[in-house]
Structure 1
């Protein structure tokens, strides 16, 4: 199964869950279920955008459209991936913060009545769907290794946790009806929504942090160390003076620029010899060459490398 297939199937299921959440939320009077539906709808929209970006990166499109886009984006589409991931994380966190404010406001104004029967039925079905999709997509991503699918798995996991908490709260609220605690039932829905939001607000932060690091082209220390090690071996093997390495990770793409300082006055070499050194370096770096932008230059003037 490909990345695009996983995301397409996930999008369909998320839209189904979102529509059901908003509908059941309005029918049962539950703000927490409405929030669950809106949260799922936001996730579905961002997953759709992720699918489009994935298609651009892997160039799964018509040749005519591909040629037109390549003319406008000659450096590739990798930079779109962290933008989408970061925006998705920010929107999900923002939705949770807004829902928390609404939940606190509802608690301060006496809560709200709720049809626990419909709420329990909705929550039970969604928990099953979310757990199934999270497990299925996580297993598929073991082979795919996609950041988009990983974020989608996290979204389904969060949805399962959110709806599972709602299910437990609704069952407790239903059990409280007709007892000495019946007067507390209007507070069940806003209280559980507030608690769930407090848990969910920080969850997308690691994704946002990594996306910002990619957007700002912050150099990964381990990646830089590995490239420097390979470059030093090339310097020693071929008698160069030094090297300069500039690396960044942008989504799934790796951008690498290597400059080697060659001693002046050396006898000229055929271009084939320099290309052979480039091939040697490329093989040593390895990785997914389809998502690697590798530039290797040779110069006797260090100013060209700095």
Structure 2
């Protein structure tokens, strides 16, 4: 009898995401509390940023459960399976795109507030509390990023990859805050104390400018998946395999349609059979489909391969 996987199993995509959500909720709570105590808007932003990241991780976890349940035909209601007979892969790029867009939006909003605060003369804050928060958060973010990155070498999940990127961004944000808070603490009681009100909004503005571009590549890829933009590398591979198959079996031609939707690879191949080709049994046609499937490769729950043989080219257009 097999044991049930641990809830925070780091060898499983869902276990990694659960771990990430739990740690993120703790850090976001600390950020909001310490931000209110110290009077630092940059720390509050850090907490809110983490809270949004946790919300997106929860949504990602839900989508992963749907995709996995559909792929293994387990734990999914018959009604839901009938409603989504093509699977749930299309949800993955939607969630990734939403995640990246929200992170960009939050950073832009914080940048506007930081610039506004600078123009108004900055804000005073308690640097001691701010330094304590920054040290704890940097250590936590760096640790979970390394743990997830190591786990994802085997898992290969786009969700986990984006989550690691989010942890690295959070660690970078907080490290910049830590440096700034240390400078602010050091200038207290000196002739440079006048700069301390500007430290919090200034470092927040700099951090926002640095992190705004980071999710852009994820959003771009998500939009490409949503709009079914043909991945050039996969299309070239399928064309090579199909052309070799046509020449080997003396077929007239072929049509290939390829798309990437999240983790899935959707491939449709139509082979045009000459009108004078000899008749074949169903078993022989299925053997040819098996042959082309092995040649294309990537067999698994995330490959959707359709192979059609027809004598009418219009069926392939």
TM range (shorter): over 0.9
Separation in structure 2 between the aligned mates of residue 259 and residue 63 of structure 1, nearest angstrom:
32
Q: Select which of 232, 235, 245 maps to 1:224.
A: 235
Count matched residues.
Answer: 306
* TM-score, scaled relative to structure 1: 0.98
Shift of 1:288: 4.3
Q: Which residue in the other structure is 1:257 paired with? A: 268
Separation in structure 2 between the aligned mates of residue 156 and residue 63 of structure 1, nearest angstrom:
32
Separation in structure 1 between the aligned mates of residue 137 and residue 309 of structure 2, nearest angstrom:
59
Shift of 1:69: 1.5
Cα shift readout 1:39-89 (whole Å, capped 9, x = no counterpart):
000000000000000011111899564322111100000000000000000
**Which sits farther off after the overlay, 186-195 or 55-64?**
55-64
- 1:288–1:161 Cα change, 3 Å: farther
Unaligned runs of 5+ in 1: none
Give the 3-state SS of the residue equivalent to 2:270 in structure 1.
Answer: strand
Instruction: Say yes or no: does 1:58 pair with 2:68.
Output: yes
The 8 Å contact of residues 67 and 87 in structure 2, kept in 1 or not, is answered as: yes
The 8 Å contact of residues 293 and 299 in structure 2, kept in 1 or not, is answered as: no
Q: Which residue in the other structure is 1:204 paired with? A: 215
Q: Which residue in the other structure is 2:82 paired with? A: 71
Instruction: Say yes or no: does 1:296 pair with 2:294.
Output: no
Q: Which residue in the other structure is 1:23 paired with? A: 33
Unaligned runs of 5+ in 2: 1-10
Instruction: Say yes or no: does 1:137 pair with 2:148.
Output: yes
The 8 Å contact of residues 69 and 76 in structure 2, kept in 1 or not, is answered as: no
Separation in structure 2 between the aligned mates of residue 18 and residue 288 of structure 1, nearest angstrom:
40
The 8 Å contact of residues 270 and 307 in structure 2, kept in 1 or not, is answered as: yes
Q: Select which of 104, 116, 129 maps to 2:127.
A: 116
Matches within 5 A, 1:74-223: 74-223=85-234
Q: Select which of 39, 50, 58 maps to 1:40.
A: 50
Separation in structure 2 between the aligned mates of residue 22 and residue 129 of structure 1, nearest angstrom:
16
Shift of 1:265: 2.6
Cα shift readout 1:148-192 (whole Å, capped 9, x = no counterpart):
000010000000000000000000010011111101100000000
Separation in structure 2 between the aligned mates of residue 45 and residue 202 of structure 1, nearest angstrom:
21
Separation in structure 1 between the aligned mates of residue 158 and residue 170 of structure 2, nearest angstrom:
18
The 8 Å contact of residues 59 and 66 in structure 1, kept in 2 or not, is answered as: no
The 8 Å contact of residues 248 and 254 in structure 1, kept in 2 or not, is answered as: yes
Q: Which residue in the other structure is 1:266 paired with? A: 277
Separation in structure 2 between the aligned mates of residue 202 and residue 258 of structure 1, nearest angstrom:
38
- 1:182–1:288 Cα change, 3 Å: farther
* TM-score, scaled relative to structure 2: 0.95
Q: Runs of 4 or more off by more than 2 Å in structure 1?
A: 60-68
The 8 Å contact of residues 69 and 75 in structure 2, kept in 1 or not, is answered as: no
Separation in structure 2 between the aligned mates of residue 214 and residue 64 of structure 1, nearest angstrom:
27
